Amino acid sequence: MTLRNILLGATMLCAATTPAIAFAQDTAEAPASDTDYGNDIIVTATKRSQTLQDTPIAVSVTSAADIQNAQIRDLIDLQSAVPSLRVSQLQSSANTNFIIRGFGNGANNPGIEPSVGVFIDGVYRSRSAAQIGDLPNVERIEVLRGPQSTLFGKNASAGVISIVTQKPQYEFGGSVEASYGNYDAFVIKGDITGPISDKIAFSLGGNYNRRDGYARDVNLDTDVNDRNRWGVRGQLLFEPTEALTIRLIGDYDKIDENCCIAGNVIAGPTVAITNALAGGPSVDANNPFSYRVYNNFLSSNLIKNYGGSGQIDYDLGNMSLTSITAYREVRSNTNQDSDFTSADLIGQKSDDTAINTFTQELRLASDFDGPINFLIGGYYFNEKIKQHSQIYFGDDFRDYGNALIQAASGGALSVPVLEAALGAPSGSFFRAGDGMDEYYRMKNTAWSIFGTVDFDVTDRLTLTLGGNYTKDKKRFTTDVTSTDVFSGINLDAAAYTPFRQALLIGGGVDPATAAFLAANPTLTLPDGSSANPLSGLKAFQFLPPFLNVPNSVEPGKTNDGDFSYSARLAYKLTDTVNVYATYATGFKASSVNLSRDSRPLASDLPAIIAGGLGTANLVSGTRFAAPEESTVYEAGLKAQWSVAALNLAVFKQSIKGFQSNVFTGTGFALANAGKQSTWGLEFDGSVRPVQGLNLSLAVTWLDPKYDSFVASAFGDLSGKKPAGIPDLSVSMGGTYTYEFAGGTKAIAHVDYQYESPTQIVDGLSGFPASVAQNLKREVNQLNASFTVALTNGFELGVWGRNLTNAQYLTTIFNAVAQAGSVSGYPSQPRTYGVTGRFKF
């Protein structure tokens, strides 16, 4: 087996319901059969053909037939087929988070590249908004598990999702597909391909996907969480000579949806206040799965994603040269009622983000008959990010803040009293329209040199060595202004005496306030020191002044370099059984906290204060997280027979400096864990007991822990299990194909996904640890389809996803500005429909 076989080619002629283990980066192949349920997977290159078992890399492959039969409609659905993968959509249509083997981050915060890299036809998609398009004519989806550095120029510390679409064909053909389902869901897809000349072929595909919302906003009397997206994609394939191939791809897709609802998981004491302000129910208390929400404006998501790429492959005889050039743009404009109540607390919480990305990859691969083969490549990445964010108080926030302050002071204080005593203009605290106006900029340039060498030690034993040197530089700037007057006032002890005197000397103090002042000249702490009675009001300073970057202490730069490497031994025990052992490292560069929770590092805070840069109420936090460095030890067995196949992997994977990105409701707490590690076992197999029947099973068992995480957002988590990672994940399924006389086929498919109960988040601010520990997620999801395929190319089928109507929370977080309340994103309900398809 040569490296070129692994990197340059694969035709996955397998439709095993549960993914098998394989890898192929680029392909020049015929489409996979949608009715072949055998176990042969052929890996091909220009001169060689290998069975899948000869590729000793742990990758789950979901074929075109799997996608069709299981009605995998986007990447969120993919996790039902790949138990090592978790996918969740969070607070907007632009945000999708990918986790492999328990490792993953990056969604939502534009300054963070994901630990799981996503590639579409060899082109890296750096942010989740660019990863969820409804691609036409997907041939297969590969999920590479573990750090990937020597096979990809763009280093990925946790894994890779590689989506491969079909190349243009020289035989005229295409397909049209239309689906209709509950919630008035309507999906139409089409593609056409064929020759322009004997050396040029084309393909053109498009899709339209709309659905009414499956949730109801009772306050606004409208459906929410709808779907409204469309896209087009065109390709040209030039083959001017037998040695030269050029593939050009251009695409554009658009999303315009209201998403995403958050249910009320825990109703705290503030619910009584928001109910009063709303004049009725402000939330559906403690029932996140009613899919009935109360907002005062619709959340909007307008996302445009477009770009183009060119791939050139040149056959040099016993070597091949490949170049992939790409430029992409993402435009995302979202606005959300982020307090998730019908009271007008947050009047606007918007993010207008522009991401421009240019990538260039160049690699040379050998295909010698001798014992040594190699690949060497170079990769360049250039990205510019601009984000304009705004968060403003709504019309009800002043009354809401007044109620909070009165409750905190036992009725002694109020917003007007505080304004007068602190010398602020009347009506200035929590004024509607005040808040934060934020501009963030980041430029990221990176390059890498990578390669691998294969040594055929014997006819059965192959040693593979690989390396990747990456250099990554980031520059970032912020221009953030807070107009929240109350948050800009220093409430420390030094401010209390003049505050008290102003109230007493000014006269007119009501009896309750006078009693409060008389009883609290100071407060005495257990250690004997005095404390300011106003300190409790700091919790209501929601949007404090922001120290912008760069400044004289913080340059707003990161500069990282790393050498990652891998070593693998693969041994062919028999013609049908292979084993391998791998040691590999991976790397992800520093990530930047482009959110309103960005704060100076604790190590920089003294110099900032000494330099006179400190703003009121400035505290430490993170501007950026240091790099991730991952390591994996893995051993695997791969076997393939005429009627069955199995793949087994045992591993220990760890990441030093794991970049924890915790959603705080309006921003993100970014921090490095000292080390996170996972022991794991992965099994997947398929068997064909009788002609036409294919049964499959995939199981992932994980035992993760934080080896060290002292400075998390929830205190010291060292030695504890990371949240959101189930111990056991299982996918099982079966597909039966029956062929009638005359060629008509009936295809029945069923699959089941299970995830054992797991804690959803590591913690919740202001709550005892036991509260988060008792909030768990368990997944039991059943999907099925039945299709009749006629000989004239027409197919008609019915399908259902989540037929058990499994309900679970994808994530939870502290409700925005509502101490004691918790919000969460509920899973999607049952969906079903009918699909007609015509292939020609």
pLDDT at 154: 78
Q: Mean pLDDT across the chain, nearest whole number?
A: 85
pTM: 0.88
Domain housing 38: 3-264+272-329+341-356+387-395+432-487+541-839
pLDDT tens-place string over residues 777-795:
999 999 999 999 999 999 9
SS3 category, 404: helix
pLDDT for residue 612 is more than 80: yes
CB 292 within 8 A of CB 215: yes
pLDDT in tens, 217-244: 999 999 999 999 999 999 999 999 999 9
Q: Does residue 231 belong to any structural domain of this protein?
A: yes
Reported as a single tens digit per residue, the pLDDT across 309-365 is: 999 999 998 999 999 999 999 999 999 998 999 999 999 999 999 999 999 999 999
- Angstrom distance (rounded) from CA 486 to CA 418: 9
Q: Which residues pair with 376 in a beta bridge?
A: 364, 451
Q: Which is more confident, 380 or 497?
A: 380
What total number of domains does the chain contain?
Answer: 1
Place of tokens 């006389």: 741
- Least confident stretch, 467-476, 497-506, 813-822: 497-506
pLDDT at 114: 80
Residue 710 located in a structural domain: yes
Q: What is the pLDDT of residues 696-736, one digit of tens each?
A: 999 999 999 999 998 888 888 999 999 989 999 999 999 99
The label of the residue with tokens 């109230």 reads 503
Q: What pLDDT is recorded for position 496?
A: 61
> Which carries the bigger pLDDT value, residue 277 or residue 409?
277
Q: What is the CATH number of the domain that holds 125?
A: 2.40.170.20
678-706 pLDDT per residue, tens: 999 999 899 999 999 999 999 999 999 99
On whether residue 371 sits in a domain, the answer given is: no
Quick check: 503 pLDDT over 60?
no
Q: What would the two tokens of residue 437 be?
A: 């106006």
User: Side by side, which strands form the sheet with 222-224?
Assistant: 222-224, 215-217, 292-293
Per-residue pLDDT, 511 = 65
Q: Which of 832, 812, 708 is nearest to 764 (CA)?
A: 812
What pLDDT sits at residue 28? 37
**pLDDT band with cut points at 50, 70 and 90 for residue 20:** very low
Q: Does residue 416 lie within any of the structural domains?
A: no
State yes or no: pLDDT of 175 exceeds 50: yes
Q: Which residues contact 824 (CB under 8 A, 6 or more apart)?
A: 262, 263, 265, 288, 760, 809, 810, 811, 812, 813
User: Quick one: average pLDDT of 509-523?
Assistant: 61
Query: pLDDT over 90 for what percent of the chain?
Result: 59
Is the backbone of residue 111 left (phi > 0), alpha (psi -120 to 50) or beta? alpha
Mean pLDDT of 447-470: 93
In a domain, 637, yes or no: yes
Q: Is the pLDDT of residue 52 over 60?
A: no
Q: Is the pLDDT of residue 595 over 60?
A: yes
Query: Among the listed ranges 126-135, 383-392, 485-494, 758-767, which one has the minimum average pLDDT value?
Result: 126-135
Domain membership flag for residue 406: no
Amino acid at residue number 619: V
pLDDT tens profile 476-498: 999 999 999 999 988 875 556 66
- Per-residue pLDDT band for 130 (boundaries 50, 70, 90) equals low
- Cross-strand pairs, 831: 801
* Distance of alpha carbon 270 from alpha carbon 362, whole angstroms: 58
117: Cα separation from own chain's centroid: 10
Contact 782, 754 (CB under 8 A): no
The C-alpha atoms of residue 758 and residue 78 are separated, in whole angstroms, by 20
Provide mean pLDDT across the span 391-405. 95
Whether 374 maps to a domain, the answer reads: no
* pLDDT value, residue 486: 93
- 492-501, 611-620, 803-812, range with the lowest pLDDT: 492-501
The pLDDT tens digits of the residues spanning 530-547 come to: 456 677 788 889 999 999
Q: Does the residue 145 lie in any domain?
A: yes
Q: Which residue has the higher pLDDT, 130 or 670?
A: 670
pLDDT at 49 over 60: no
Q: pLDDT confidence of 512, banded at 50, 70, 90? A: low
Dig out the tokens for 716 from the structure: 């010291």
> What gap in Å lies between CA 392 and CA 370, rounded to an integer?
67
| Per-residue pLDDT, 40 | 46
- Band of residue 46 on the pLDDT scale cut at 50, 70, 90: very low
Lowest mean pLDDT across 184-188, 358-362, 383-387, 668-672:
668-672
Higher pLDDT, 260 or 748: 748
pLDDT given for residue 802 in this prediction:
93
The confidence score (pLDDT) of residue 411 equals 80
